[in-house]
Structure formats: C-alpha cells, structure tokens
Structure 1
Amino acid sequence: MRLVRLIANLGYGSRKDVAWMFREGRVTDPDGEVLYADDKVEHAQIFIDGEPLDPPTGILLMMNKPLGVTCSRKDPGRVVYDLLPPRYRARNPALSTVGRLDRDTSGLLLFTDDGALLHRIISPRANLGKVYEATLAQDLRGDEQALFASGMLILESETTPLLPASLDVLAPRHARLRIAEGRYHQVRRMFAATGNHVQALQRTAIGGLQLDGLAPGAWRQLVADEIARIFESTEPTHVLDFTAIR
C-alpha cells in the first residue's frame, strides 16, 4: 500500500479516501492505464484524474506574494495558502513559509516541507541578504546610505545596532535596500528612523535568488540550480517598475 500512503501524505485525502480513489480507477499512468495500490511506479508516472501527482516531499516553492494576504494558516482574512491548491495545506510533512512577509508587503516568498532546508535559509549563520524595493512618502534626505551602512543605527525600542545594510537610490522617493538580518518590520522601521514612511514595499531577492517573471499571486516549484542560487550572495542589478506596487 506504498502508493496509498504516498498520495495521502501529499494531501489528497485520508488513506481511506485514497484507497477509494484506486478502486474508482482515478489513479493512472500518463497513458491513462489504471494503477493499483501495490504497483511499483516512479513518482512522475502517477496521475490522478488525468493530472500529474503533486511534487514529492522536499520541495521548495517560490511565490510572488500579493498585498493583502497574510503568511499564516489561520487568519480572518486571506492567507497565502489560499493561493495554493487546497490539498497543499494537508501535506505531511507540512508545507511552511520560509520566514514571513507582513500583509502590506508583497514579493518573494518561499515555502518548503524540508525542515533542514528551511532552517538553513533562515539561520543567521547563512548570512543571506534580502533585497527590498521601497516607495517612500517623502524624498530621501541624502544621508540614508551612510547611516544604513554604518552598522550604528539602533531602531526604536532596541539596544543592539543593526548590521550594515546597503541602499541604492533609484529616484527621490524610490530605493533598493539590501539587509542581512530580519528584525520585526525592519525596513519600515529603518526608514522611520530617518523621519520617512514606507508607502509600498516589495521583497525582490533572497540571497542570489531574484523574483522574476511571476505575476502577483502566482507560484512555481524551484529546481535544483535555483535552490543553489539562494546561497549565492550577489547584488541585484535590475530595477523594478514601481507602478506595480504603488
């Protein structure tokens, strides 16, 4: 009954539900030939209702998180899991977000069911830079680059200075900020410390992985070379169109 357990763990239903799917002939190979619970077949050769079986455990997904959704499983409003197939909530091991973006921040969000990979990405030892594009309420005053890079900025209600961060000025009220840590609402609080207010915020990169080509709310599975790219510390060189996040 290996296939029953495999399919149930991917969230398609209980083992009883999946056993019934086999009896109904809903589990097939790519050619439509019915499979049986004791068959020995490769993961890629399993189809349910004519659709390929979801990816196996150990996946890493990338999503362009839109505004107005929460990185939570339970919330009165919309949550990021609403943007994935419903069965993804029931996968075992569970699919978790790799860190969070708040409701009012859009952009690159990762999901995985691989606990070791999750901790490798979020661990301070990984020293993975995260890049954000910010639209500000007021013009930059001119000293933000030096202040953020100094390693001496202390946020309100904290006592430990921030690690140095790099700022690229894109326009008087547009900036790209690369930080090496993830304190609570860090980017917004950094600009608040200069007397400014972030009107729109989008995360565009984690490590060497950049958010390219995904529409807001869209997602896809990352392949091996993209996962490896996360652990490359490369500075982004592209400039985003801010009209999409205002």
Structure 2
Amino acid sequence: MAKTPTSRIDKLLSSMGYGSRSEMARLAKAGGITLDGTELADVSARIALAPDLPARMRIDGEPLDPLQGLVILLNKPLGMTCSHKEDGPLVHDLLPKRWRRRDPAISTIGRLDKQTSGLLLLTDDGDLLHRVISPRRHVAKTYRARLARPLTGTEGALFASGTLMLEGEEKPLAPAALQVLSETEALLTVTEGRYHQVRRMFAAAGNHVEALHRERLGGLALPDDLAAGQWRLMRPDEIALIFA
C-alpha cells in the first residue's frame, strides 16, 4: 500500500492560495485553522494529505478546498478567454479568487476560443492534462455548429475523407464525423485540436460558422443541468469517461 504523503500545514495552505506562510501562522494563532474540531496552533507541523482532509479541516470556519489533483467541469460562456493573462473576462474569474494563486496552477485542458461555448475542463494535474491533449490519445471532441448557409450534402464525405487540407497547412486533417441536424445545424466530431479547426473546416466547405458549442469530450457529455458559467468538481468515474 502506498504511503500517504505529508506536508507542513503552512506550506500546504500557501500552495492552495490561502495566503503566505506568515499569514497562515497568524491565522492559526487566532484559532482560524482546525482539524476535527481542534485548533491547530503550530503550522510548522506536518499533516497527512489524506483524501478526507478537506472534510476534516476548516479554514476560518469553511471546509478546506480540494487538494491537488482537482478536475473542474465548466460550461464556458461566450465572450470569455481561457488564458491566465489576456485582457477581458477570463474563465478563471468564474472560480474562487484564491484558486488563481494555487501551485501547481489550475490550467485549462486545451482551449475554447472567445466565441466558442460549452464543455471545458480545468485541472492542476499535469499528467491528466497531457493525456487528454496528446495527439496519440485521439480523444474525440464533438461540437454543435450553427451555420450561415444551408449544408450542401457533400460536407460529410469531405470531412470523413482524411484528405481535407486547411489553408496554410501541409498535412491533411484526420477523418472527422458529421451528423446533420438540420439544413443549418450539425454536430462535428474531430480527434485533433488544430487552431480554429471546426470553423476552418466549414470555411473550406464554403460555409461560415455563426455559433459553436462543444458538447462532448471523449465519452464525457456536458450535463444538461450545468448552465453557462457554472462549474463543478469531477468524480474519478466521470474523469474515466473522457477515455472511454
């Protein structure tokens, strides 16, 4: 059985964005850090990073945030960017403010551009991030596209051919699956993540994407009850669906 890792209390809380080590020492002295109802006065003491720690520890009366390894499922709204630094509204602004100071940092798993909405994952688990975005994994991504002009009926064969070349690129796209929903709406499933890929694919077919929404990542679907701008933490069984 693997040994449960430990950490100094002040180092743990600082890495989770609660404040500096000196600030954590002052908070503890004021009785603001408890474990199983008992005040922890010595933040230099080491504590086991057990899975149940967030349920047992309180910071200023509130449950401890999730430990490292969190995965967040977010329904990204339009008009927000996935960067940490760009001007304007950021998806990170939807999360608790102190989470911006966590180390390791919380990063998006891939990106959705400012004008694309839908399923977006964020994590501080670097191994998971690279597993999802690795070209060798071929994790499928399904988008709902609303188009400016009616489909001609030739797009499905073109996208599935494996021969479509995007402007400015030297390698053809991998085959992609198109499901027509109406004359001007379709689901497109791709296994690559090239720059503005879905928009450029429809442009290559002589159309224009007016609205784009990601509905699925691998076997994980965006829940119907998760409104735009809302997020929740994912369970291990839900994370496994990505690779199903």
Q: Secondary structure at the match of 2:12?
A: helix
Q: Which amino acid aligns with 1:223?
A: R
| Equivalenced residues, count | 231
Q: Secondary structure at the match of 1:77?
A: coil
Of 190, 209, 228, the match for 2:240 = 228
Structure 1 spans left out of the alignment, 5+ residues: 233-246
Question: Would you say 1:146 and 2:157 are equivalent positions?
Answer: yes
Of 181, 189, 194, the match for 1:178 = 189
Supply the distance in 2 between the matched residues of 1:66 and 1:15 (Cα, whole angstroms): 36
Q: Which amino acid aligns with 1:7?
A: L
Supply the distance in 2 between the matched residues of 1:126 and 1:98 (Cα, whole angstroms): 14
Q: Post-superposition shift, 1:34?
A: 2.4
Give the match for residue 96 of structure 2. Answer: 85
Give the match for residue 218 of structure 2. Answer: 207
Supply the distance in 2 between the matched residues of 1:179 and 1:29 (Cα, whole angstroms): 47
Q: Post-superposition shift, 1:115?
A: 1.1
Give the match for residue 3 of structure 2. Answer: none
Within-5 A mapping of 1:107-126: 107-126=118-137
| Ranges of 4+ aligned residues in structure 1 off by more than 6 Å | none
The C-alpha deviation readout for 1:206-228, integer Å capped at 9, x for no partner, is: 11111112111111111110111
TM-score scaled by length of structure 1: 0.90
Q: Post-superposition shift, 1:194?
A: 1.1
Identity of aligned residues (%): 55
Of 1, 12, 15, the match for 1:9 = 15
Supply the distance in 2 between the matched residues of 1:143 and 1:59 (Cα, whole angstroms): 43
The C-alpha deviation readout for 1:110-164, integer Å capped at 9, x for no partner, is: 1111111111111011110001011111111111111101111111111211000
The C-alpha deviation readout for 1:12-56, integer Å capped at 9, x for no partner, is: 11111111111111112465x423333746522111122111100
Give the match for residue 76 of structure 2. Answer: 65
Supply the distance in 1 between the matched residues of 2:233 and 2:26 (Cα, whole angstroms): 29
Give the match for residue 75 of structure 1. Answer: 86
Supply the distance in 2 between the matched residues of 1:19 and 1:98 (Cα, whole angstroms): 34
Q: Post-superposition shift, 1:82?
A: 0.6
Supply the distance in 1 between the matched residues of 2:22 and 2:138 (Cα, whole angstroms): 45
Question: RMSD across aligned C-alpha pairs, in angstroms?
Answer: 1.4
Q: Secondary structure at the match of 1:126?
A: coil
Structure 2 spans left out of the alignment, 5+ residues: 1-6
TM-score scaled by length of structure 2: 0.91
Supply the distance in 1 between the matched residues of 2:144 and 2:196 (Cα, whole angstroms): 14
Give the match for residue 34 of structure 1. Answer: 39
Question: Would you say 1:219 and 2:231 are equivalent positions?
Answer: yes
Within-5 A mapping of 1:33-52: 33-36=38-41, 37=43, 38=45, 40=47, 43-44=53-54, 45-52=56-63
Supply the distance in 1 between the matched residues of 2:160 and 2:46 (Cα, whole angstroms): 59
Q: Secondary structure at the match of 2:142?
A: strand
Supply the distance in 2 between the matched residues of 1:162 and 1:95 (Cα, whole angstroms): 30
Q: Secondary structure at the match of 1:12?
A: coil
User: Which structure carries more strand by proportion?
Assistant: 2
Of 25, 46, 52, the match for 1:19 = 25
Supply the distance in 2 between the matched residues of 1:28 and 1:217 (Cα, whole angstroms): 32
